Amino acid sequence: MVKKRKRHTPEQIVKKLRDGEAMLNAGQEMAIVLQTMEVSESTWDRWRNQYGGMKSEQAKRLKQLEDENRRLKEIVADKELDIRMLKFVAEGNF
């Protein structure tokens, strides 16, 4: 049976990390914690590396900054394409 992939918001990730850490500190085994959180071990490790120690607001702000950075990179790429196209046309190579 294949499960549908689920996207988590930064707030959900921070909450799951906090809950999972509490379960681990209470003596639960890692396999049980991962099953309860419905994530794989690699996802858990990636989340801990990226969001470990963050508060929910910080994770949300990080996601906003990443989205803004992605949009700005797209804008720069479009402008670079326009510049190259104009240079090509100016040289008369068409």
Per-residue pLDDT tens over the stretch 30-57: 999 999 988 999 999 998 888 877 777 8
* d(C-alpha 30, C-alpha 20), whole Å: 9
Query: Can you give the pLDDT at residue 45?
Result: 92
How much is the pLDDT for 94? 62
Residue closest to 57 by CA, chosen among 17, 11, 19 = 11
CA distance 86 to 58: 42
And the tokens for 36?
Answer: 């309860």
- Find the mean pLDDT for residues 82-87: 92
User: Is the pTM above the cut of 0.95?
Assistant: no
Q: How many CB atoms lie within 10 A of CB 54?
A: 16
Q: What are phi and psi of 64, to 5 degrees?
A: -65, -45
Cα–Cα distance, 10 to 57 (Å, whole number): 9
